[in-house]
Amino acid sequence: MNFDDHPHRRFNPLSGEWVLVSPHRTKRPWQGQQEEPDRATLPEYDEGCYLCPGNERAGGAVNPHYDETFVFTNDFAALLPEGPDFHDNDHHLLRAEPETGVCRVICYSPRHDLNMARLGVERVKKVVDVWCREFKELGSRADIGYVQIFENRGAIMGCSNPHPHGQIWATSNMPMLPAAEDQRQLAHLQERDECLLCCYLKRELDGGERLVLENDSFAVLVPFWATWPFETMVLPKAHMGSIVEMDEKQRGDLADALVRLGSRYDNLFQTSFPYSMGIHQQPTDGGEHPHWHWHMHFYPPLLRSRSVKKFMVGFEMMAMPQRDLTPEAAAVRLRDLSEIHYLETV
């Protein structure tokens, strides 16, 4: 089947949802502005930044003079560790129940001016180590059922501070999207006696048309069912339910993959590429979850330039997600980019 010329829909086995692909629409003439590379630079330290070392945060706390990574409990957390015990179910359509948890912020580096792509493998490896430490600590708590590690980069993704940082929200219950993946992976294992993502990764490595990059331990690819224009998944080649199962070599390889992907993203439109990134892994309820294969999602909104973005509106909000650029074409664009960051070439 030639996917390049005909509208079709693709199935996402992780979520059970479909996405409409309309590749013929990319043949429309593009008369958008031609943009120069974004070479605006930030200071290494910003006295007005509430994440820089030694600065006061909005809640009044003062950051230590950290020199690597720094983790703190969010001053304006969306979740609280304690709450009233209630189940308001007086009508079957009006249900509410408590949700408790912990929200933490991870500053990747004291440098205000560097994003993940420019931190370098050694410093990103320290971020990976923090992810593993925090997941193990929070996941061991009896009141935590799931640990969601994520990063929003760029103002368009709701991130108002460019200082390199991510977040962790640890919840008492498993959130909706990881729960859907949990059910789909479990069903696949029960029906076919094999891991869903192990099976999928083998097909992608054999074909290679959606592969962006790989190293000894990880593959980065544009999923067959991708919704966002340059969406990617980072998949460990070994079957692992969570990030704490990685050894030192695999942690270093993950850092390598993230830096190389980040450089490609920034080079695509020569800007600090906005995205939402999240790590999906097994719940922390103390049970056995052999069906889980942990992975990372990158959801970037940029479509044709840093001025042209994709939004979920109209048909996509009311019916189903839709994309014009095929995942195969997106993979080629990303795969052909240099891994030398454009700001390092001047």
DSSP line for 219-261:
EEE--TT--STT-EEEEESS--SSGGG--HHHHHHHHHHHHHH
Q: What's the Rg (C-alpha) of the chain?
A: 21
Residues annotated catalytic, as ranges: 165
Q: Can you name the residues that pair with 299 across neighbouring β-strands?
A: 276
The structure tokens 């969570």 sit at 242
| 300 to 11, 17, 235, 254: CA distances (angstroms) | 20, 19, 17, 19
| Under 8 Å between Cβ of 136 and 281 | no
- Would you say 196 and 13 are in contact if contact means Cβ atoms under 8 Å apart? yes
Contact (Cβ atoms closer than 8 angstroms) between residue 153 and residue 273: yes
Which of the 8 DSSP states describes residue 157? Answer: G
The CB density around residue 173, as the number of other CB atoms within 10 Å, is 16
In order of 80, 98, 112, 288, 345, the CA distances from 83 in angstroms are: 7, 7, 36, 28, 52
CB atoms within 10 A of CB 74: 16
Exposure on the CB side of residue 266, measured as CA atoms within 13 A = 23
Phi first, then psi: what are they for 132, rounded to 5°?
A: -65, -45
d(CA 139, CA 148): 10
Separation between Cα atoms, residue 326 and residue 340, nearest integer Å: 25
Residues 6+ apart with CB under 8 A from 279: 131, 148, 149, 150, 243, 294, 295, 296
Closest CA to 308 of 230, 237, 248: 230
- The enclosing H or E element of 128 equals helix 121-139
